[in-house]
Structure 1
Amino acid sequence: MATIMDISIMITGITIIPMTEFTANTALLRLMTWLSPAFPVGAFSYSHGIERAIHDGLIRDKDTLHSWLTDLLQHGSIWNDAVLFAASWHEAQAGGDCQPIAALGEAMAGSRERHMETMLQGSAFLQAIAHWSGDQPGATEEMPYPVAVAIAAACNGVELQPGLAAFVHAVISNLIQGAVRLVPLGQSHGVALMAALERPILAVAQRAAASSLDDLGSAAILSDIMAMQHETQYSRVFRS
C-alpha cells in the first residue's frame, strides 16, 4: 500500500487531514469511521429518489430494488460518483487541484434534490473530518460527497480500489436501509441484497479505478425522473 506522509491539501481554504504518521490499520480505521452510518453526514435522510419510485410502484419488493440498485451502480449516478471519486483520489495524491473535478461533479447533479444530497453531504463530511486534523469544525464551502471522501482517502494512505469499494458499499447500504423501511422489507431481505451486490460493487470499484472523467455518463433516466418528481411529492419521509 502506498503511503502519504506529511501531506495537507488546500481545498477552498480548508486544510484537510495533515498526516504525520501512517499505518495500514490507521487508514482502515479512519475509512470505517468516515463511512459508518453513525458518521454525521446525514446520509440516512436521503433516498436518492427511491422514495418516489416506491410511491409509484416501480420498487415494490426485493427483486425490483435489486434491479434498481444494479442500474444505478453500473449505469447511473453511483457509477458517476465512483468515477468522480477515482479522479479526485488521483488528483489529491499528486497534490493537484481538485476544484475542477468538484465543479464538474456539482454540475452533474440532475435535479435540485440530487444537488442538495451530494453537496450537503460533502460539506458535512469536510466539517466532521476536521477532528482528525486538530482543527475546530466550522463552516466550509460545499463540495460533492464523493470528491470530499476521495480527497480524505488519498491523504490518509487509503488505496484507491479499497476506498472506492467502501464508498460504494456505504452508498448502497444506505439506500437499502431506506427501502427496508419504505417498501417495507424485512432486515433479512436487506442483508440478502448486500450479499448479492458484493461482487458487483467490487467489479465497479475495479472498473472505476481504471476510469477517467471521459467515462462519466448515465443511462438511468428513470431514476433522475423519480428524483425530480420527489420534489413535489405530497407526503414524504426523506429529503431526496
Structure 2
Amino acid sequence: MLMRTNEPAADAQDARERMNESESAALYRLMTWLSPAFPVGAFSYSSGIEWAVESGDIADADSLSHWLCTLLAEGSGFCDAVFLAQAHRATLSRDYAQLRDIAELAAAFVPSRERHLETSAQGRAFIEIARAAWNNDLLGQTLAACEISMVYPIAVGVVSAAHAIPLAPTMHAFLHGLTSNWISAGARLVPLGQTDSQRVLALLEPVVAATALRALNATVNDLGSATFRADLASMRHESQYTRLFRS
C-alpha cells in the first residue's frame, strides 16, 4: 500500500519557505542599494581609517576589528543607525517637519570636513540614483516637501520607507554595508588578505546585531559618541601627506 504524505503540513512548510511579492522586492532592493557595487562612491572613503593605519593604531586584523567594534557600538555606526530609524519613521508618517529637523541634526553630528563630504556625497548620490531607477510617488513627495540635502543614513531611511521596506531589515543591511566598506578600506591599507577580512566581518556580526537593536529602540535623546580617536583620525587625514582615500 502506498504511504500518503501529510499534505497540509507540507503545504504549510512550503508557505513558510516562500517569500511573498513585497518581501522579495524588499530583499532585492536592499541587496542592490546597500551593495558595495551600488554607485555612491563608498569605495573612495575610509572614515579616517587611513590615518589610523598610518599612525599605527590599526596594524592587523585584530586591531582593525577592535577599532570597528568601537566605531559601530559607540561612534558613528550607532548614531547613523539612529538617524536612519528616525528618518524612516518620519517618512512613513509624512512628518516632513520632523524629517527636516532630523536631516539637519544628522548633518551637524558629522565630526570633520572630510566626513561631511563623505556622508553628504553618498547621500546625494543615493537619492539621485534611487529617483532615476526606483522613483515612486511617496519618494517624490517627500523630497519635494523637504527640499534639503540629505546625508547618507537619512537618504537610506527616506528611500527605504518610501518603498515600504521594513525598518529592521533596512537597519541591518545598512550597518552590514557600512561595516563591509570599512573592512574593505582596512584590507587595502594594512593590507589584509581576503580570509582575514572575512574573519573580521564574522567577528563583528554580533556587534552589528546589537547596534541595530539599540538604534531601533533609541530616540534622539540617546544620540552620542565616544570615539575621540576616530574623530581625530578623520580630522588629521585632511593634512595627511600621502592618501589613497578621500576621508
TM over 0.5: yes
CA shift, 1:153, in A, is 1.1
**1:132 aligned to 131, 134, 146, which one?**
134
Give the match for residue 5 of structure 1: none
- Structure showing greater radius of gyration is 2
CA shift, 1:158, in A, is 1.6
Give the match for residue 199 of structure 2: 192
Give the match for residue 61 of structure 2: 62
Give the match for residue 167 of structure 1: 174
CA shift, 1:226, in A, is 0.5
> What are the within-5 Å matches in structure 2 for residues 112-131 of structure 1?
112-130=113-131, 131=133
Deviations 1:206-236 (A, max 9, x none): 1101111111101000000000000000100
Deviations 1:39-96 (A, max 9, x none): 1100000000000000000000011001100111110011110110111111111111
CA shift, 1:24, in A, is 1.1
Deviations 1:111-142 (A, max 9, x none): 1001101111000000110111179xxxx963
| CA–CA separation in structure 2 for the residues paired with 1:77 and 1:205 | 13
Deviations 1:157-201 (A, max 9, x none): 221111111001100000101110110111101111111111111
Give the match for residue 81 of structure 1: 80
| CA–CA separation in structure 2 for the residues paired with 1:35 and 1:179 | 19
Contact 2:45 2:118 in 1 (8 A): yes
Give the match for residue 102 of structure 2: 101
> What are the within-5 Å matches in structure 2 for residues 1-240 of structure 1?
23-97=22-96, 98-130=99-131, 131-133=133-135, 142-240=149-247
Larger helix fraction of residues: 2
TM-score if structure 2 supplies the norm length? 0.84
Long gaps (5+) in structure 2: 1-20, 138-146
| CA–CA separation in structure 1 for the residues paired with 2:71 and 2:245 | 18
Letter in 2 for 1:133: N
Long gaps (5+) in structure 1: 1-21
Contact 2:87 2:157 in 1 (8 A): yes
Give the match for residue 18 of structure 2: none
Q: Secondary structure at the match of 1:58?
A: coil
TM-score if structure 1 supplies the norm length? 0.87
Give the match for residue 4 of structure 1: none
After TM superposition, which residue ranges in structure 1, 4 or more long, deviate above 6 angstroms?
none
| CA–CA separation in structure 2 for the residues paired with 1:24 and 1:163 | 12
Give the match for residue 9 of structure 1: none
| CA–CA separation in structure 2 for the residues paired with 1:158 and 1:198 | 22
Q: Which deviates more, 43-52 or 160-169?
A: 160-169
Letter in 2 for 1:148: A
Q: Secondary structure at the match of 2:72?
A: helix
Contact 1:24 1:157 in 2 (8 A): no
